């Protein structure tokens, strides 16, 4: 979904999708391990594994499971240039270190151009050209501006943000909140009660963002309230569905 966004953007970028293994197949417009993509991309190339393929790239997007971020970042560190922009779309906190994903990438690469991309999005919808909004956050304003221009297209709005901590906190906690909201739905709790609980979770998210060094106003962004509402209220959300089954 991520590389399909950039491939479809009207910016003449060539997009290369590098899969970790040959089991992750993408044959033009179908990822056989997940879903079919109906939106076609003509400036998209696909390779399997070699991290060295990204040595000449201006932007490198790390779109791997949270548990693989450290390993992939360490592999990337041997080949990435310091002037490259590393965009992290993985969400979560590393259990052993309590580090956010962007912290792990920085620890491994020492790259100063790390950005975090987040917003309300289901992969199947984005891959098929859905309209939505994202936030791109990072310590280097020039890097976030470049990513904004690369990702933005007719259906996708990308807004820069200077609070990468707030984005990381919101992106991590919304999944936990979604499990709780799914549990309430699975218990057939009434809408009024679920709404009141959601209001408390929004307050708690703001408190957590501030406590961890972010800005409370980051709640009112695509990556904040936008992503939280989508994840906590839709049966398409895996965490929400998991909570229902519990």
Q: Which residues are catalytic?
A: 174
Q: What is the DSSP letter of 68?
A: G
Give the span between the Cα atoms of 106 and 77, in whole angstroms.
Answer: 10
Strands annotated E in the chain: 15-19, 30-31, 35-36, 44-48, 59-62, 85-88, 114-118, 132-137, 156-161
Give the span between the Cα atoms of 102 and 106, in whole angstroms.
Answer: 6
Degrees (nearest 5) of the Cα angle 185, 206, 230?
Answer: 40
Give the span between the Cα atoms of 223 and 91, in whole angstroms.
Answer: 11
């Amino acid at each position: 979904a991520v590389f399909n966004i950039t491939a479809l953007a009207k910016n003449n970028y060539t997009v290369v999708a590098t899969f970790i293994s040959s089991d992750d197949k993408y044959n033009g417009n179908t990822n056989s391990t997940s879903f079919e993509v109906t939106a076609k991309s003509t400036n998209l190339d696909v390779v399997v594994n070699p991290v060295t393929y990204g040595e000449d790239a201006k932007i490198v997007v790390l779109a791997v499971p949270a548990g693989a971020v450290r390993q992939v970042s360490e592999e990337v560190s041997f080949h990435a240039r310091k002037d490259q922009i590393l965009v992290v779309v993985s969400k979560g906190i590393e259990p052993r270190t309590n580090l956010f994903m962007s912290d792990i990438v920085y620890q491994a690469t020492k790259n100063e151009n790390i950005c975090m991309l987040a917003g309300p999005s289901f992969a199947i919808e984005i891959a098929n050209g859905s309209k939505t909004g994202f936030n791109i956050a990072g310590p280097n304003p020039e890097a976030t501006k470049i990513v904004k221009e690369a990702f933005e297209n007719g259906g996708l709005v990308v807004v820069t943000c200077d609070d990468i901590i707030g984005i990381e906190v919101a992106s991590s906690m919304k999944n936990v909140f979604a499990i709780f909201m799914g549990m309430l739905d699975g218990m057939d709790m009434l809408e009024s009660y679920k709404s009141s609980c959601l209001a408390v979770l929004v307050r708690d998210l703001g408190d957590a963002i501030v406590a961890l060094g972010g800005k409370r106003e980051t709640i009112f962004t695509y990556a904040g309230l936008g992503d939280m509402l989508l994840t906590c209220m839709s049966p398409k959300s895996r965490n929400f569905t998991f909570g229902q089954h519990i």
